[in-house]
């Protein structure tokens, strides 16, 4: 699967950079074309794998290259004001070779969180046939209410696209794919977390994106380390998981043919299983020579023994099953149970002799049993390396304590903001205080 990748904001740019670094290492990439967009100049300068001609600084006139300070309304409006420049950069991408767009961003900051819906809306209006996927990073709970509020608004806007509470944002009746029209490309408004979130994924009539792969900064960071320390690891995990999943089925010269190919259609169908997804990733280093000698001793065989092969294959099968379970647990760090997703894709990468077919099949069956849906896809990715990796994509997340918490945190932030507004209104006696809307959150 080949994508045009857009990293927006600080996190988005760094994740894009990490993708490009990893892709250089494995000499393969799902990123056909890359673009980093930011309002902060230093963020862009810090990217070492993104080329200078792939960097776009926006809003210099208003933000002076200093970012938008976690104000995602400003992030949205600056992106809108610069949409033509973004458009020109997107036009440089070889669109006919792309299977879709992938926007990389944090959801809690200002530039990426506000700019992503604007860019998604623009892509929909210009290149309607190509799907838009987002890798969106949820802020840590430790980062407080404002980031949670930003994330909930950005998510809500991406899932709903237009707010039923605001007639000026209603779907265009003349358009078949309402909400995905050029007409709306100047719409900078972000939907609030209290605005009819009711089962947004299922009922959304006007989503701006085809799928959001959510990454939870909390799920991957350890209590004893700072978030900044965890970012590197998190970014690397995202890059590895998504690259492996997207690149596995790409035919390349000299590439080993998988026994079971995961192709673009498998990935798209898995992502079509819902609007929200999550990924998991696990690695196991293959035994060093010393360990192998030890194992040989335990087995009491030499390496040409036939039983040895069986033993190796049993070991390979077990290794894969353990890795898939581990990958499930990392993915479920974001969510709660496998019952809360509707579809999945399992990919196992490693040297051919350890890609045990039965192990992959049994892992798929194991996930399938729990999801209780027929659609768990899977495949292998043969490549020479001293380790085995499992990448997991779980889609159609329909129940999530983490998201409920995020929306609750966001609602509290909304209330705080309104309380401040009320005080200011009373002080100046300019306007009546607004009535706080009833808050109901459902995922």
Ligand X SMILES: Nc1nc2c(ncn2[C@@H]2O[C@H](COP(=O)(O)OP(=O)(O)OP(=O)(O)O)[C@@H](O)[C@H]2O)c(=O)[nH]1
Which residues of this chain interact with ligand X, rule CB under 6 A? Answer: 9-11, 14, 39-40, 67-70, 106, 108-112, 137, 139-140, 143, 147, 217, 227, 231, 234-235
Residue 73 CB, shortest distance to ligand X, in Å, is 11
Cα–Cα distance for residue pair 178/184, rounded to 1 Å: 10
Residue 109 vs 379, nearer CB to ligand X: 109
Residue 234 vs 403, nearer CB to ligand X: 234
Footprint of Mg ion on 27-66 (CB under 5 A): 40
Interacting partner of 108 out of ligand X, Mg ion, none (Cβ under 5 to 8 A depending on kind) = ligand X
Question: Looking at beta carbons, which residue is closest to Mg ion?
Answer: 10
Q: Which stretch binds Mg ion (CB under 5 A): 2-10, 120-128, 285-293, 414-422?
A: 2-10
Residue 115 vs 273, nearer CB to ligand X: 115
Interacting partner of 244 out of Mg ion, ligand X, none (Cβ under 5 to 8 A depending on kind) = none
Residue 69 CB, shortest distance to ligand X, in Å, is 5
What is the sign of the dihedral through the CA atoms of 259, 260, 262 and 265?
A: positive
- 101's enclosing H/E stretch is strand 100-106
Q: Which stretch binds Mg ion (CB under 5 A): 6-14, 237-245, 317-325, 332-340?
A: 6-14
Residue 100 CB, shortest distance to ligand X, in Å, is 22
Q: Which stretch binds Mg ion (CB under 5 A): 3-11, 189-197, 284-292, 349-357?
A: 3-11
Residue 420 CB, shortest distance to ligand X, in Å, is 20
Residue 237 vs 356, nearer CB to ligand X: 237
Tokens of 267: 């990935």
- Which candidate, 390, 328, 394, places its Cα nearest to that of 359? 390
Q: What torsion, rounded to 10 degrees, do the Cα atoms 329, 330, 335, 341 define?
A: -70
Residue 68 vs 76, nearer CB to ligand X: 68
Indicate the SS3 state at residue 34: strand
Interacting partner of 396 out of ligand X, Mg ion, none (Cβ under 5 to 8 A depending on kind) = none
Cα–Cα distance for residue pair 2/182, rounded to 1 Å: 25
Cα–Cα distance for residue pair 92/35, rounded to 1 Å: 10
Interacting partner of 116 out of Mg ion, ligand X, none (Cβ under 5 to 8 A depending on kind) = none
Interacting partner of 127 out of Mg ion, ligand X, none (Cβ under 5 to 8 A depending on kind) = none
Cα–Cα distance for residue pair 248/382, rounded to 1 Å: 9
Interacting partner of 11 out of ligand X, Mg ion, none (Cβ under 5 to 8 A depending on kind) = ligand X
Residue 104 CB, shortest distance to Mg ion, in Å, is 14
Start-end of H helices in 27-110: 41-45, 60-63, 72-81, 83-91
Residue 107 CB, shortest distance to ligand X, in Å, is 8
Residue 12 vs 258, nearer CB to Mg ion: 12
Residue 289 CB, shortest distance to ligand X, in Å, is 36
- Which candidate, 124, 118, 152, places its Cα nearest to that of 136? 152
Q: Does residue 10 bind Mg ion (CB under 5 A)?
A: yes
**In 337-386, where do the E strands start and end?**
343-350, 376-382
Residue 417 CB, shortest distance to ligand X, in Å, is 17
Residue 10 vs 206, nearer CB to ligand X: 10
Residue 10 vs 29, nearer CB to Mg ion: 10
- Which candidate, 72, 359, 110, places its Cα nearest to that of 188? 72
Q: Catalogue the long-range contacts made by 374-378 (C-beta closer than 8 Å, 24 or more residues apart).
A: 375/269, 375/270, 375/273, 375/342, 375/343, 375/344, 376/343, 376/344, 376/345, 376/346, 377/262, 377/266, 377/269, 377/270, 377/343, 377/344, 377/345, 377/346, 378/260, 378/262, 378/345, 378/346, 378/347, 378/348
CA triple 58-60-61, angle to 5 deg: 125
Residue 10 vs 124, nearer CB to Mg ion: 10
Residues that bind Mg ion (CB under 5 A): 10, 40, 67
């Amino acid at each position: 699967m080949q994508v045009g990748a857009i990293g927006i904001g600080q996190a988005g740019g760094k994740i894009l950079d990490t993708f490009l670094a990893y892709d250089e290492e494995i000499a393969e990439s799902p990123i056909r074309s890359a673009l980093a967009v930011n309002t902060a100049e230093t963020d862009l300068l810090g990217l070492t794998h993104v080329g200078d001609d792939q960097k776009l600084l926006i809003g210099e006139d208003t933000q002076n290259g200093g970012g938008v300070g976690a104000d995602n309304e400003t992030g949205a409006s600056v992106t809108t004001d610069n949409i033509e420049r973004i458009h020109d950069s997107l036009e440089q991408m070889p669109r006919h070779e792309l299977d879709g767009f992938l926007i990389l961003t944090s959801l809690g900051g200002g530039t990426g969180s506000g700019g992503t819906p604007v860019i998604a809306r623009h892509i929909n209006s210009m290149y309607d046939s190509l799907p838009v996927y987002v890798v969106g990073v949820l802020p840590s709970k430790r980062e407080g209410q404002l980031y949670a509020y930003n994330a909930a608004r950005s998510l809500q806007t991406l899932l709903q696209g237009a707010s039923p509470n605001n007639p000026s944002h209603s779907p265009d009746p003349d358009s078949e794919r309402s909400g995905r029209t050029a007409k709306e490309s100047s719409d900078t408004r972000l939907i609030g977390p209290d605005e009819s979130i009711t089962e947004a994924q299922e009922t959304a009539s006007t989503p701006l994106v085809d799928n959001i792969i959510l990454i939870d900064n909390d799920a991957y960071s350890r209590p004893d380390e700072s978030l900044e320390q965890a970012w590197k690891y998190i970014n690397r995990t995202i890059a590895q998981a998504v690259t492996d999943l997207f690149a596995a089925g790409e035919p390349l010269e000299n590439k080993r043919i998988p026994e079971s190919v995961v192709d673009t259609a498998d990935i798209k169908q898995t992502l079509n299983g819902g609007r929200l997804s999550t990924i998991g990733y696990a690695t196991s280093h293959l035994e060093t020579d010393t360990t192998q000698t030890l194992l040989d001793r335990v087995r009491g065989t030499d390496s040409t023994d036939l039983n040895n092969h069986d033993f190796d294959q049993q070991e390979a099968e077990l290794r894969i099953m353990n890795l898939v379970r581990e990958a499930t647990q990392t993915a479920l760090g974001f969510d709660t149970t496998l019952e809360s997703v509707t579809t999945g894709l399992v990919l196992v990468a490693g040297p051919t002799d350890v890609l045990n077919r039965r192990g992959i099949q049994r892992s798929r069956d194991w996930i399938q049993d729990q999801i209780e849906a027929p659609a768990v896809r899977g495949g292998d990715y043969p490549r020479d390396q001293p380790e085995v990796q499992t990448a997991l994509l779980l889609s159609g997340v329909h129940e999530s304590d983490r998201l409920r918490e995020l929306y609750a945190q966001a609602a509290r932030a909304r209330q705080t903001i309104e309380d401040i507004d009320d005080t200011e209104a009373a002080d100046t006696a300019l306007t009546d205080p607004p009535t706080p809307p009833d808050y109901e959150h459902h995922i």
